């Protein structure tokens, strides 16, 4: 198994890939689009992508990419995110004039970063990539928000640990592949659907799950590109597609939705492991 992930070694996506399959070989990619491309073209067998963070919320670009590509979700991973303030050896906190990190990293550490009023916050493509950039360019007035592993890999010092706004800072990742094992049992199903713009359409859509006592773990709306003020809805169901209730609910939904698509049915992340994975 070879897993593509966005970012540099030391990124939290790398940690997610290794949590999913510790023995896998890894393929770092510059962008989320590159992860999808690597799996589609066969450079990797799987790709790992962050979908939501317990502090920063949803990573909307990846929701959109799941619809744009035909790669099913086959698993999920949760990673505890422990952000650190990293700087080159010898650089003190008072010397910092810029802080680099991925936009999500900056957002998750908003309160701490307010304690650096003289520092400009600069969004980059990756947390670990920010640490690499500081090392490669020899920046002496710049810090990064990244993991302690990134500090080790790129020769930076950890000035402050645990700078995220909340201790319970968890990112949920999904794993995509070129094809799914239809015989594999899943206990979480992700679907996306669009509805006609008529009164009560969303109420009617949600009722197909309510009457069957199906728990919706997540409901997210996203604009449909090219169709102003029209939306599609992502929903996570708390059961697998092989469950008769899920199958009947999706068929029922398809009777009045404009379209419905199942993005994957897969094992939920439980007690530090993806249940049902070998």
Which residue numbers are catalytic? Answer: 171, 173
Nearest to 278 by CA among 201, 183, 198: 183
DSSP the chain: -EEEEES-TTSHHHHHHHHH-TT-EEEEESSHHHHHHHHHHTS-SEEEEEEEETTTEE-HHHHHHHHHS---EEEEEEEE---EEEE-TT--GGG--EEEE-HHHHHHTHHHHTT-TTPEEEE-S-HHHHHHHHHHHT-SSEEEEE-HHHHHHHT-EEEEE--SSSS--EEEEEEEESS--TTS--SEEEEEEE--SSTTHHHHHHHHHHTTT--EEEEEEEEPTTSTT-EEEEEEESS-TTSHHHHHHHHHHHTTSSEEEEEEEEPPEETTEETT--
């Amino acid at each position: 198994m070879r897993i593509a992930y966005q970012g540099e070694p030391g990124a939290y996506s790398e940690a997610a890939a290794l949590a999913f399959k510790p023995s896998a070989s890894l393929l770092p990619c510059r962008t989320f689009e590159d992860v999808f491309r690597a799996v589609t073209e066969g450079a990797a067998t799987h790709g790992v992508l962050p979908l939501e963070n317990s502090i920063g919320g949803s990573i909307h670009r990846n929701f959109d990419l799941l619809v744009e590509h035909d790669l099913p979700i086959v698993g999920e991973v949760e990673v505890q995110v422990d952000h650190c303030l990293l700087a080159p050896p010898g650089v003190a906190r008072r010397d910092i004039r810029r802080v680099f990190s991925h936009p999500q990293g900056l957002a998750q550490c908003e309160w701490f970063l307010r304690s650096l009023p003289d520092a400009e916050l600069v969004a980059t493509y990756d947390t670990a990539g920010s640490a690499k950039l500081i090392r490669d360019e020899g920046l002496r007035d710049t810090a990064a928000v990244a993991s302690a592993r990134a500090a080790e890999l790129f020769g930076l010092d950890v000035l402050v640990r645990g700078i995220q706004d909340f201790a319970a800072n968890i990112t949920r990742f999904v794993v995509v592949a070129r094809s799914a094992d239809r015989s594999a049992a899943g206990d979480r199903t992700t679907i996306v659907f669009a509805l006609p713009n008529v009164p009560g359409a969303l109420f009617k859509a949600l009722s197909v799950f309510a009457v069957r006592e199906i728990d919706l773990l997540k409901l997210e709306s996203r604009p449909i590109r090219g169709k102003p003020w029209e939306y599609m809805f992502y929903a996570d169901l708390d059961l697998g597609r092989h469950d008769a209730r899920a199958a009947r609910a999706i068929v029922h939904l398809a009777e009045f939705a404009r379209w419905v698509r199942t993005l994957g049915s897969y094992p939920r992340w439980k007690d530090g492991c993806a249940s049902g994975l070998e």
